[in-house]
Structure 1
Amino acid sequence: MNRSIRYFFSQPHQPFFALGILDALIFMPLFVVSFEGYLAANATLLHAYSMLFLVFGNFFYGFIYTTFPRFSAQPPIDARRYLRVWALQLLATLSFLVSLWLPFAFYAAVIFVAVAIALTLRIFLGIYRAAPEPKTDQYWIIVAFGMAGLSNLLFLLAQIPCTHCRAGVFFDYAVSVGVYLYLLFLPAVIAFRMVPLFSRVMAYRKSSWLHPALFGLLLLHVLVGAYLPRGLFAVDLTLALLLGREVLRIELPFPNRDPLLWGLHLALFWLPLGFLLGAMVEFFEAWFSYSSLQLPIHLLALGFLTTILVAFGTRVTLGHGGRALRVGRAGALLFALTQVVLLGRLALSVAAGMGHLSPWLELSAALWIALFLFWVGLYGKTLLVGSEE
């Protein structure tokens, strides 16, 4: 096997990050053309499923397969085990692409994703059992992947034809469980462990109730959103206060001259801020019939999630690629661009509230694509072949 190919598959973050970036560049344009009616596909399903399990899901695998054994003081995961999961994710991507024209292929994509999650849970449970105490973070990571499996199952149930089933309910729960109990909860668990460590804030000890309270409130968000939407803002306001208090307890050295740390800190600040601003939006949506085009979710998905994945992904790529953990002005521009992407999405919601989607939808998607292309231009070669320094 070619040396470059061997290197590419030798560490879990490389194939998973590469597949996640490819999916990010493929599915966002397809969502836009589908939303605008140029592609006869379910635009909502396309966007939700691809982002949950094919874009962010691959980034999660790349980072967690690298760090979970380290959290647990165990040896690295054998390449054959994580490459099986990567192959399943690749097959899921291909199947989901085909499903845009042949809808029955969606069932294959769901099955591939389900098997990938099941294999991951099996690997992580084995590591968890062998790990010395404490292993609280590992426990909640496993719970988050369990929620990913539940969300994936709900997506499947939502697509199965059934005369007496309320498919819309299954779909709403699939998205809500996937976004809040997997997409946001998992990186939050990682962030409260890794950001203080990377920032050398050694005095910080996270509150023992943080993860159970966070999971419980996110679960409450899912239930209140389904049964009492007018009270949803109160749940998110509580989340903002809880998370804001915990972030302030860390006493992060912010602002910081190191763009890599600056990006990590900015992402962590966005976690409570996203819930706070989201609570305000939800209040106006529930009580004044205002439509924000899912702005509360996107404040968190772009402000917190995308920013922290760009930061974590850059750090892992540089560190494991043999380069110094320095990003310079280009890195600073990269993190600034993540905030521009968020502003573009905010502009889309404001325009949608006034009945105008174009050209804001296209601009928002273009900024998303530009972010990933910029990252590839800066660090793509390191991801693929490592440092030549």
Structure 2
Amino acid sequence: MPLARLANEPHRVFFPLGILASILGVALWPLHFGGILAAWPLEAHARLMVVGFGGCFIVGFLGTAGPRLLGSFPWTTPEVVAHATTSGAIITLLMLGQVPAADTVTGFWLAGVLASLGVRFVFGRKDVPPPGFPIAVLGVVGACIGSFALAIHSVVHLSPLWHSFWRLMLFQGFLWLPILGVAPYLLPRFFGKSSPHSLDESRSIPRGWWRPFFISVIAGLLMIYSFEVEARGLLRPGMWLRAAVVGVSIAFSVPGWLGWGGVNAVGRGLRWVVPCALAGWIAAGWFVPLRIGLLHGMFIGATGLIMIGVATRVVLGHGGRHDRLQSPMKWFHAVWALLLLVAATRITPEFVPKIRISHYIYAASFWTITMLFWAWRLRLEFAKPKPIKLLQPSFGRSGWRLPNLDLRRGA
């Protein structure tokens, strides 16, 4: 594939990198229990899943969609190569157990991504971004600062409050602030609805932009406030506030989410995102000592599922297969069902400790199978024949006539 196309559509680089990072991230557990890795892999695993998997999907989406939404020029080949190389270095460092070094490189990586987006906004912008996208960028900013803060903590210990706060900004804010920013713009399309965040193209602030912007800002600030509440030791109120923010924000800003029918398998799967997120935070707040395991309901069933669902649309849409997005895509039922199975498998050992090792390995295996199955099925979508577009006959002065028809596939 030409490098110019990869630069124009960075998701073609970062989505596969994210899948690779996630498979390596879950592989740490069987490697540890098999005696190959001596160190407890929790910190490296968490970063491979959040920064590696989540970060690559977020950067791939913003790098592809950001310039288009701004009406600006795409990323250059050197930028994509630099960002991809840096993310690869982060994955390598984490696999080697060099967590502080990986945090430092993550901070520089995200700073570079922000610079790439900022250049397009300042010098090439011909349109105002959707109202929620500043909150998505805020999530990247918070993760950038949080990565540097955690790297510094390995040398000069931060106070418990600040250490906890920046961990939450990296591990949850990096995922959920972009979701809150992008969901009102993108998710209604999965449900056959128009988005209140999709406004007329304009270099100045268009009419109707400010109201959804302020709503997004309030949701984002409340999310950050919930991190402070939890960092102060009020774990249950912090997590429950986060659940309320996500539930209310998406319910009122994403038309069609509260329905059930009228969608294909991708839309049906995405309707599990909010229930999984709420269940994860509420359960973690209720059983605080078990919160690390219970939060996997939110991480896997919500953030993992929404990223795979959105990535499906991005890959097929930019690959010229909008027709497949409107098809039933029944195979995606297996994807979201498998992800829910992964979440349940990972949560179960919190209540039955004697099966912990086996279920860690089962969950890692199911995740790997799910990612490979999704990538394989998505690739098969491009092999399906394109529909032939037939133009309707028109009635002119000389009577009925048929236009010239081009019956080539995809015409």
The TM-score normalised by the length of structure 1 is 0.82
**CA separation in 2, counterparts of 1:276 and 1:28?**
22
- CA pair 55-210 structure 1, distance change in 2 beyond 3 A: same
- CA pair 131-264 structure 1, distance change in 2 beyond 3 A: farther
**CA separation in 1, counterparts of 2:29 and 2:152?**
22
2:113 is the alignment partner of 1:120: yes
**CA separation in 2, counterparts of 1:202 and 1:284?**
39
2:261 is the alignment partner of 1:255: yes
Task: Indicate conservation of the 8 Å contact 2:242/2:281, yes or no.
Answer: no
In the TM superposition, 1:78-157 aligns within 5 A as 78-97=76-95, 99-100=96-97, 103=98, 106-129=99-122, 130-133=125-128, 135-157=130-152
Question: How far is 1:387 from its partner?
Answer: 5.3
2:192 is the alignment partner of 1:159: no
- CA pair 361-96 structure 1, distance change in 2 beyond 3 A: closer
What letter is aligned with 2:145? Answer: L
SS at match of 1:359: helix
Task: Indicate conservation of the 8 Å contact 2:191/2:256, yes or no.
Answer: no
What letter is aligned with 1:124? Answer: L
Task: Name the residue aligned to 2:20.
Answer: 22
**CA separation in 2, counterparts of 1:107 and 1:233?**
29
2:172 is the alignment partner of 1:180: yes
**CA separation in 2, counterparts of 1:134 and 1:334?**
31
Task: Indicate conservation of the 8 Å contact 2:83/2:109, yes or no.
Answer: yes
Report percent identity of matched pairs.
18
Task: Indicate conservation of the 8 Å contact 1:72/1:132, yes or no.
Answer: yes
Which one of 170, 186, 191 corresponds to residue 194 of structure 1?
186
Structure 2 segments unaligned to the other structure (5+ residues) = 198-210, 386-411
Structure 1 segments unaligned to the other structure (5+ residues) = 286-290
Task: Indicate conservation of the 8 Å contact 1:278/1:295, yes or no.
Answer: no
Task: Name the residue aligned to 1:334.
Answer: 335
**CA separation in 1, counterparts of 2:112 and 2:41?**
29
Task: Indicate conservation of the 8 Å contact 1:147/1:182, yes or no.
Answer: yes
Per-residue CA shift, 1:69-111, capped at 9, x if unaligned?
23223333333322321121112222332x33xx4xx454334
2:261 is the alignment partner of 1:266: no
Task: Name the residue aligned to 1:216.
Answer: 221
**CA separation in 2, counterparts of 1:374 and 1:43?**
26
Task: Indicate conservation of the 8 Å contact 1:181/1:215, yes or no.
Answer: no
Per-residue CA shift, 1:348-384, capped at 9, x if unaligned?
33224xx5413222122222111112112212577xx
- Structure possessing the higher radius of gyration over alpha carbons: 2
SS at match of 2:351: helix
SS at match of 1:132: coil
Task: Indicate conservation of the 8 Å contact 1:221/1:235, yes or no.
Answer: yes
* Aligned-residue RMSD, C-alpha: 2.9
- CA pair 327-158 structure 1, distance change in 2 beyond 3 A: farther
- CA pair 246-27 structure 1, distance change in 2 beyond 3 A: closer
Which one of 30, 34, 41 corresponds to residue 39 of structure 2?
41
**CA separation in 1, counterparts of 2:267 and 2:336?**
10
Which one of 233, 237, 240 corresponds to residue 237 of structure 1?
240
In the TM superposition, 1:4-23 aligns within 5 A as 11-23=9-21
Question: How far is 1:12 from its partner?
Answer: 0.7
**CA separation in 2, counterparts of 1:244 and 1:126?**
34
Task: Indicate conservation of the 8 Å contact 1:292/1:349, yes or no.
Answer: yes
What letter is aligned with 1:263? Answer: G
Task: Indicate conservation of the 8 Å contact 1:279/1:296, yes or no.
Answer: no
- CA pair 37-117 structure 1, distance change in 2 beyond 3 A: same
Per-residue CA shift, 1:174-221, capped at 9, x if unaligned?
431112221222122111210013433227468554322222222222
SS at match of 1:369: helix
**CA separation in 2, counterparts of 1:78 and 1:218?**
34
Task: Name the residue aligned to 2:392.
Answer: none
Question: How far is 1:139 from its partner?
Answer: 1.9
**CA separation in 1, counterparts of 2:53 and 2:92?**
13
Task: Name the residue aligned to 1:278.
Answer: 281
Per-residue CA shift, 1:308-364, capped at 9, x if unaligned?
111111121222223332462212211221222222222233224xx5413222122
**CA separation in 1, counterparts of 2:54 and 2:195?**
31
- How many residues end up aligned between the 2 structures? 364
What letter is aligned with 1:308? Answer: I
Deviates more, 1:88-97 or 1:198-207: 198-207
What letter is aligned with 2:21? Answer: D
Question: How far is 1:59 from its partner?
Answer: 1.2
**CA separation in 2, counterparts of 1:16 and 1:334?**
20
**CA separation in 2, counterparts of 1:247 and 1:284?**
25
What letter is aligned with 1:224? Answer: V
Question: How far is 1:4 from its partner?
Answer: 7.1
Task: Indicate conservation of the 8 Å contact 2:4/2:77, yes or no.
Answer: no
SS at match of 2:132: helix
Deviates more, 1:15-24 or 1:129-138: 129-138
**CA separation in 1, counterparts of 2:135 and 2:266?**
26
The TM-score normalised by the length of structure 2 is 0.78
Per-residue CA shift, 1:128-163, capped at 9, x if unaligned?
333534653232222111111112112212322x5x
